[in-house]
A and B are shown apart, each in its own frame.
Chain A
Amino acid sequence: GIQVEQSPPDLILQEGANSTLRCNFSDSVNNLQWFHQNPWGQLINLFYIPSGTKQNGRLSATTVATERYSLLYISSSQTTDSGVYFCAVIPSGNTPLVFGKGTRLSVIA
């Protein structure tokens, strides 16, 4: 099946710093979503981005489907950004989301 690799696995940032999280996938995809799992365990939708670029406040994402990767940018990070960021893809066909292992982000004041 499709492989979804996220990097880095762990990231520690000082408050106010910027970061880029990467998601590589091994095959073509129909759909890609980014999620934030907060310290309470909730999975929060960030972006639905099968291709192109989207922005939402301090967060933005870019997916280059032809090159099989997606990037999540976090600018001016805040302590509330801490948690695990997951990339999930839907391979060609009609199968449900396949998740990567996540990037654990810790933002310190």
Chain B
Amino acid sequence: DAMVIQNPRYQVTQFGKPVTLSCSQTLNHNVMYWYQQKSSQAPKLLFHYYDKDFNNEADTPDNFQSRRPNTSFCFLDIRSPGLGDAAMYLCATSTGRFNQPQHFGDGTRLSIL
């Protein structure tokens, strides 16, 4: 089945140690999104790619970066994770920017030691 796959499901890293989260899609969608979701809160958009065009939300910390080497893959890099970055990170895709339904992966839960 076509889907959005996030790896790993659970990631533990140390305070300040860089970490990369991965997302892949078989839907061939143009747009890929990364969201941060903390407990009992709505998902918060960090950034998105429309094809190779990168769009950063104004309040996304500089500590968060993203790469999209091809249509299928998108990565979230956290350069120096702090305790406040512990959260669920959700990847989503859509055919068009914002005006089409977004399809989500199961998320990666990041813990910081």
Chain A partners chain B: no
